[in-house]
Structure 1
Amino acid sequence: MSIFGNTFQTLEYALDFSSKRNKLISTNIANVDTPNYKRKDTSFNEILNEKLGQSFQAKQTHVKHIPFQNQSYTYKNFIQNNLQYNHNGNNVDMDKEMAQLAKNQIYYQSLVDRLNGKFHDIQTVIRGGR
């Protein structure tokens, strides 16, 4: 474990997820009128909890090498086939997508704010509490 704990790593993964989710939501919005297009989404919470509960070790070739964690996280993308909102087979609900986009943007900004707060804390410690 680093001197900062898992906070930076968790924030990194969460920011990466939010960025990927933003792209999927944008793709859904761009395809709102595409016949037979099925909305796409991604899942992150289950994977984050699963990965944070595991400890990965890289191969150390020398006793004095510092251990580090594998940072290859993936997200589960899925297509929602069971819904149909439009007569052309498309299941993108523009209102729902816009709400999801706004929610994701708020989530992303809160993560950035938290990361900035952590850096500010470190800066305060480096300056000796000033």
Structure 2
Amino acid sequence: MFDNVFGVHEAAMKLRQDRLGLLSENLVNAETPNYKAKDLDFRKAMSTSLANSGVSLEQTHGAHMKHRSLSSIGGAEIIYRNPMNPAADGNTVEAHYEQSEFGKETARYMATVQFIENRIGGIRRAFRGE
């Protein structure tokens, strides 16, 4: 009955969280020699996630660490960004771009949270008969 109560927003929230993690890693490693800036194509990842929504890995115990593949996150392929101004030390992070993307993705994440909160509020009202 409640299997798909959040619709696409559940998958979107997970992917947005993953992307924010990648952008954070990029910012933290902005001065690391030979570090390659990573990202994910949200649109492609969301399509893949919705197509594979019946299959997922499960963490069976709270003490287990979540697996994070080097080539994918939650089924989303990690892509390496080509910089407009590559650094001499091989680092491809462009901090201004990463900060801009982080801000935009944070706003999108908060919008997704708001959709989910509104959905939960609607379900609560329905249970109370309002």
- Give the length in aligned residue pairs: 114
- How far the C-alpha of 1:34 sits from its partner, in A, is 1.2
Local SS of the residue matching 2:40: strand
Question: Is 1:95 aligned to residue 96 of structure 2?
Answer: yes
1:66 corresponding residue in structure 2: none
**1:70-121 deviation per Cα after TM superposition (whole angstroms, max 9, x unaligned):** 2455111122356552222211111100011111111111111000000111
Deviation at 1:35, TM superposition (A): 1.4
Relative to the length of structure 2, the TM-score reads 0.74
Q: Residue 47 in 1 paired to residue 32 in 2?
A: no
Q: Percent identity?
A: 25
After TM superposition, the structure 1 = structure 2 runs for residues 31-110 of structure 1, keeping only pairs within 5 Å, are 31-53=29-51, 69-71=54-56, 73-81=74-82, 84-110=85-111
The CA RMSD measured in Å over matched residues stands at 2.3
Instruction: Tell me which amino acid in the other structure corresponds to 2:41.
Output: S
Question: CA 1:44–1:71 in structure 2 vs 1: closer, same or farther (change >3 Å)?
Answer: farther
Higher mean displacement: 17-26 or 82-91: 82-91
Detail structure 1 runs of 4+ shifted over 3 Å in the superposition.
Answer: 81-84
Unaligned runs of 5+ in 1: 57-68
Deviation at 1:50, TM superposition (A): 4.0
Q: Distance in 1 between matches of 2:82 and 2:47?
A: 26
Gaps of 5+ in 2: 58-73
1:8 is paired with a residue whose SS is coil
Contact kept in structure 1, 2:48 and 2:75, CA below 8 Å: no
TM-score (norm 1): 0.74
